[in-house]
């Protein structure tokens, strides 16, 4: 086990963790602010991947397809929030679970009806298909992964800026902390909820679209993304963006190392981390909430 292999896996893990953060960050915000357990969150990730595959094969341009993902998913999330989610904000978690479980099933069937149930592969955009030479004795690293990691980092920074430096972010933080108080002070929560829901959905979809050239496009993507981002939220703490960031990186690295060094138990690695965190700090690694 050479040092370069460990370094390479570390880079891969961070890359995976950053993608995970995009899905889980939105989910965590939706939990924290809207109080909704969204089992359909993985479906946005899935649609991101499928729409980008479909639009790329139809138009031949990945960037155009990425724009299509943002537009379609934002529109879909807006409709869903207005038509369905808004009706259950005050209901119990059990109602959320049922509702979003049903939605996840419907969205998966919609995906199946729109396209098919096959596995599809997607090439990265031509300009980013190359490799970066890391030097003597090291394997070259795909340019696309570097680009995706950087883009995710930028998006994470943008989220941090949005959360820490803007009025919207302040409103969100106030809403997560004490929703009733924030409402009492005149916060327009319905509009805020719509914004955050759409933001979360679009982030998840972009993550799916960015991951598609690496991991290919297949039917089970929704459950996979959903459950991993649940684990991230448990580890990071509900409603905490920084917690989700740390947790996503931690789990991304854990998963990648598990796959490399212990392939039989790889899928369980993230859960082991989660249980460890639960013992160590049940409220999440950063334990920022209240």
Partner 1 sequence: MFSRRAARHGARGGSGASADGAWLLILVLPALLSPLLFAEGFELQRLARFPIFAMLAMSLAFLVGSAGLVSLGHAGFFAAGAYGFAMLAGSCGAPPLFGAAGGLAAATATAALLALASGVFALRTRGIYFLMVTLAIGQVVFYALLDIPFFGGSDGIFLCGAPAQFFGLDGSRSYYVLVSASFALTVLLFWFLRRSYFGRLLRAGEIAESRLEALGYAVFPLHLAAFTVAGAVAGFAGALEAMRFRIVNPELSDWHVSGLLLVMVVLGGRGTLWGPVLGAVLIIGAEEVLVTRYPEDWRVGIGLIAILVALYLPGGLWGSGLWRRVTRSIFGRGGGGDGDGRSMAFAGADSLTVNGDGRSVALVGEASVTSHDVGSSERRQLMPAGAARKKLNDNDGDGDGRHVSGHFDGDGDGDGDDGVVVNDGGVDGDGDGGVVVNDGGVDDDGDGEGGRLK
Binder among 114, 153, 157, 181 for partner 1 (CB under 8 A): 181
Among residues 257 and 283, whose Cβ is nearest to partner 1? 283
CB of 230 to partner 1, least distance (A): 4
The length of the chain, given as a count of residues: 290
**Are 71 and 52 in contact, with CB atoms under 8 Å apart?**
no
CA–CA dist 24, 29 (Å, integer): 8
Helices (H) and strands (E) counted in the chain, each on its own, are: 11, 2
Binder among 34, 37, 73, 122 for partner 1 (CB under 8 A): 37
Reduced to 3 states, what is the DSSP secondary structure of residue 37? Answer: coil
CA–CA dist 82, 85 (Å, integer): 7
CA–CA dist 6, 12 (Å, integer): 10
Question: In degrees rounded to 5, what are phi and psi of residue 165?
Answer: -120, -5
74 binds partner 1 (CB under 8 A): no
Binder among 58, 112, 121, 140 for partner 1 (CB under 8 A): 112
By rule CB under 8 A, what count of residues binds partner 1?
Answer: 56
Site for partner 1 in 199-218 (CB under 8 A): none
**Are 41 and 198 in contact, with CB atoms under 8 Å apart?**
no
CB of 162 to partner 1, least distance (A): 22
Binder among 5, 71, 87, 188 for partner 1 (CB under 8 A): 87
Q: Per CB under 8 A, which region of 2-10, 127-135, 152-160, 230-238 contacts partner 1?
A: 230-238
- Sign of the alpha-carbon torsion through 52, 53, 55, 61: positive
End-to-end CA separation in angstroms for the chain: 43
31 binds partner 1 (CB under 8 A): yes
39 binds partner 1 (CB under 8 A): yes
Residues forming contacts to partner 1 in the complex (CB under 8 A) are: 31, 35, 37, 39, 84, 87-88, 90-99, 101-106, 108-109, 112-113, 178-181, 183-184, 223, 227, 230-231, 233-234, 237-239, 264-268, 271, 274-275, 278-279, 282-283, 289-290
């Amino acid at each position: 086990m050479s040092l370069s292999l460990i370094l390479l896996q570390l880079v891969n893990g961070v890359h995976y963790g950053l993608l995970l953060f995009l899905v889980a960050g939105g989910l965590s915000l939706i939990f924290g602010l809207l109080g909704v357990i969204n089992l359909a969150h993985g479906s946005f990730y899935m649609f991101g991947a499928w729409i980008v595959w479909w639009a790329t094969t139809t138009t031949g341009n990945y960037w155009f397809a990425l724009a299509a993902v943002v537009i379609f998913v934002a529109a879909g999330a807006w409709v869903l929030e207005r038509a369905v989610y808004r009706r259950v904000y005050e209901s119990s978690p059990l109602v959320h679970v049922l509702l979003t479980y049903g939605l996840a099933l419907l969205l998966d069937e919609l995906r199946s009806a729109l396209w098919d149930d096959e596995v599809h592969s997607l090439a990265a955009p031509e300009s980013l298909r190359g490799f970066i030479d890391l030097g003597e004795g090291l394997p070259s690293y795909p340019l696309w992964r570097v680009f995706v990691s950087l883009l995710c980092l930028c998006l994470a920074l943008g989220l941090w800026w949005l959360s820490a430096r803007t009025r919207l972010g302040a409103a969100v933080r106030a809403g997560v902390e004490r929703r009733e108080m924030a409402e009492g002070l005149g916060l327009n929560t319905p509009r805020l909820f719509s914004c955050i829901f759409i933001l979360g959905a679009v982030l998840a979809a972009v993550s799916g679209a960015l991951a598609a050239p690496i991991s290919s496009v297949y039917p089970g993507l929704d459950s996979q993304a959903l459950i991993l981002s649940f684990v991230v939220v448990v580890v990071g703490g509900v409603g905490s963006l920084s917690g989700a960031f740390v947790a996503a990186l931690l789990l991304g690295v854990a998963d990648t190392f598990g796959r490399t060094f212990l392939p039989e138990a790889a899928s369980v690695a993230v859960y082991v981390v989660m249980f460890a965190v639960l013992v160590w700090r049940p409220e999440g690694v950063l334990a920022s909430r209240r």
